[in-house]
Amino acid sequence: MSEMIATRDAYGKALVELGKEYKNIAVLDADLSGSTKTALFAKEFPERFFSAGIAEANMLGMAAGLAAGGMIPFASTFAVFAAGRAFEQIRQSVAYPRLNVKIVATHSGITVGEDGGSHQAIEDIAIMRALPNMTVLCPADGPETTAAIRAAVQFDGPVYVRLGRSKVPTVFTGGCDFAIGRAAQLRQGKDLCFVTTGLMSAQALEAAAILAEEGIDARVLHLGTIKPLDVNALLKAARETGAIVTAEEHSVLGGLGGAVCEVLAEGCPTPVERVGLRDVFGQSGNAEDLLVHYGLTPAHLVEAAERVLKRKRA
Amino acid sequence: MLTQQTVSELENAAKHLRVEILKMLNIAQSGHTGGSLSSIDVLTALYFHKMRHDPGNPAWEDRDRFVLSKGHAAPALYACLAQAGYFPMEDLKTLRRLGSHLQGHPDMKKTPGVDVCTGSLGQGLSLANGLALAARVAGKSYRVYALMGDGEVQEGQIWEAAMAASHHRIDNLCAIVDCNGLQIDGEVKKVMNVDPLGPKFLAFGWHVLEVDGHDIQAITRALDEAETVKGQPTAILARTVKGKGVPFFEHKASYHGVPPSDDELSRALEHLGHA
């Protein structure tokens, strides 16, 4: 059993380490630092931590101002508030001027759980990737998060990092050699390819194991970067397998599934099954139950694989 | 206290800048006349007296920063930057034209001397907070000035920023509100009343000063006082006249986003003594 780590925990620790190396990192939070784990940085470097209170719009604006003043600001809150409430501030004050702000949004997707639909961001990938100058990262596990946060610091420009609430299995057990824009093939395969992000990549590996017992050889391509999309890896997977299943803890509209369809429709028309929320909001429940309810389990991925294979053969 | 000579020089500079604003808007046939004219005296006092900046070195790390939160007054800012020498005066003729660095709203990526991108009202004070805090972390002593409109303070984000500025004791921040009393749909009082503004900023923990926004002496005195205030930011409420300087533009909401026609321009220039 691989180690279970919450990506937000990896983030909190990574920030402290990076804060020691980079004296110009600043961190802002909107009264959720206990949950986003920026509280660790706040304790270590109080002079570089700025509480914004429950005022996300001002938080993003302040982050932009700090960046314009030469700092590398990390602004954190729940994804629904980061991408949603402060969307225009991200658009106008961060993306449009291409300021070096890192928006690390935790508690994305339905695994937020009991807080319910108002707190479950199922549209944040779609809206963030529509912004020019925005890089969108969605790491699978603890190690990839640690690497992605470092990559974000070293990258000059706006970055949105999507993290989750719950502990997730470690996929990059041998360490993670992360590069922005580079997909990671987690499993070779020739019959179909799961193209996944975030916690769905671990789910896809489980689904691939189930399919293997049925004699179906599934590739798993994990996109830790949604924007810029690793077009070459995606087209290669489409050409070599002829069938794609996308999966994300997000709506099937406009997120990873949408991005993949955009690329394939132009570059290599291929049958695609999109797994995700079917244009519905989330609701209260525990994370496990919600994953089942919204069709985000390995069993659902196996069904999607069987559907796409039928279309491939047709 | 400025000498009378300095005051006269600055008043003359402002008059000249009014001419440049009107000319560039007329050529562009697009842009915001009323709010540019109402703010130019404050901008003159900032760019030609108060602010520490260097047109030869727009990226000077210790420069004072300026945030035009009411970004649509860009013509006023551009006139000041050109006059100061950040770019040729000739460029003003290209306002809002495709390919020009002089965008409809200030663009830090395109125009030398512009510190931040603005245009969507309500966001500039937050930017100013961040810029001011960056100075603190870096141990620098530059000051940050932010100019807002009185209609603009209807935006909730302004009050988030005001709360934060006080909470974080951002005393190297000075906000100026260009209180011309008008917005697009009419009087601010009638569209969405923001009065009493002074007591609001006081309640938010700011030091508050009120001045005639067309009185250079009073403006500079207020800017100087703001610099002495420790532990809290300062808000200067500048009472202004929308369209100030051209009688037939004054007090009119209708010239908010409308440029002068050729006829209006020649009459205006005549009035300003630049026929």
**Rounded Cα gap, residues A130 and A226, in angstroms:** 11
**Rounded Cα gap, residues B49 and B45, in angstroms:** 5
Active-site residue A47, yes or no? no
**Rounded Cα gap, residues B49 and B62, in angstroms:** 17
pTM of the model: 0.96
Give chain A's count of helices (H) and strands (E).
Answer: 13, 14
- Chain A residue numbers touching B118 (CB-CB < 8 A): 92
Chain A contact probe: residue of B69, B117, B167 with most A CBs at under 10 A: B117
pLDDT at B210: 98
Measured in angstroms, the CA of B200 and the nearest CA of chain A are apart by 18
Helices (H), chain A: 7-21, 33-36, 39-44, 56-68, 79, 87-89, 124-129, 142-154, 200-213, 231-241, 256-267, 287-293, 298-313
Q: Which structural domains are found in chain A, ordered by start?
A: 4-169 (3.40.50.970), 184-313 (3.40.50.920)
Q: Exposure of B192 by Cβ count < 10 A (0-12 exposed, 13-18 middle, 19+ buried)? A: exposed
The DSSP bridge pattern shows strands B65-68 and A167-169 to be: unpaired
Give chain B's count of helices (H) and strands (E).
Answer: 9, 7
Interaxial angle between packed helices A142-154 and A7-21, expressed in degrees from 0 to 180 and rounded to the nearest 10 = 40
The CATH T-level fold of domain B4-271 is Rossmann fold (3.40.50)
**Rounded Cα gap, residues A18 and A40, in angstroms:** 12
Q: How far is CA B198 from CA B117, B126, B234, B239, in A?
A: 27, 19, 11, 12
In the predicted model, what is the mean pLDDT of chain B? 97
pLDDT, one tens digit per residue, over B46-88 is: 999 999 999 999 999 999 999 999 999 999 999 999 999 999 9
pLDDT at B90: 98
3-state secondary structure of A149: helix
**Rounded Cα gap, residues A10 and B268, in angstroms:** 63
CB contact under 8 A, A62 and B119: no
**Which residue is it, tokens 């110009």?**
A24
**Rounded Cα gap, residues B152 and B154, in angstroms:** 5
pLDDT, one tens digit per residue, over B257-270 is: 999 999 999 999 99
Q: Does B128 touch chain A (CB under 8 A)?
A: yes
pLDDT at B268: 96
- Chain B residue numbers touching A90 (CB-CB < 8 A): none
Q: Does B164 touch chain A (CB under 8 A)?
A: yes
Q: Which of A210, A143, A138 is nearest to A173 (CA)?
A: A143
pLDDT at A95: 98
What are the sequence ranges of the domains in chain B? 4-271
3-state secondary structure of A268: coil
**Rounded Cα gap, residues A211 and B250, in angstroms:** 76
**Rounded Cα gap, residues B267 and B261, in angstroms:** 10
Q: Which residues contact B3 (CB under 8 A, 6 or more apart)?
A: none
Q: Does B161 touch chain A (CB under 8 A)?
A: yes
What residues form DSSP beta bridges with A29? Answer: A51, A76
pLDDT, one tens digit per residue, over B87-121 is: 999 999 999 999 999 999 999 999 999 999 999 99
User: Would you say residue B275 has pLDDT above 60?
Assistant: no
pLDDT, one tens digit per residue, over B126-147 is: 999 999 999 999 999 999 999 9
pLDDT per residue of chain A (314 residues) written in tens, 0 to 9: 689 999 999 999 999 999 999 999 999 999 999 999 999 999 999 999 999 999 999 999 999 999 999 999 999 999 999 999 999 999 999 999 999 999 999 999 999 999 999 999 999 999 999 999 999 999 999 999 999 999 999 999 999 999 999 999 999 999 899 999 999 999 999 999 999 999 999 999 999 999 999 999 999 999 999 999 999 999 999 999 999 999 999 999 999 999 999 999 999 999 999 999 999 999 999 999 999 999 999 999 999 999 999 999 88
What interface predicted TM-score (ipTM) does this complex get?
0.94
User: Would you say residue B245 has pLDDT above 80?
Assistant: yes
How many contacts, defined by CB atoms under 8 Å, are there between A and B?
116
Residue A16 has phi, psi (to 5 degrees) of: -65, -45
pLDDT at B274: 73
CB contact under 8 A, A68 and B156: no
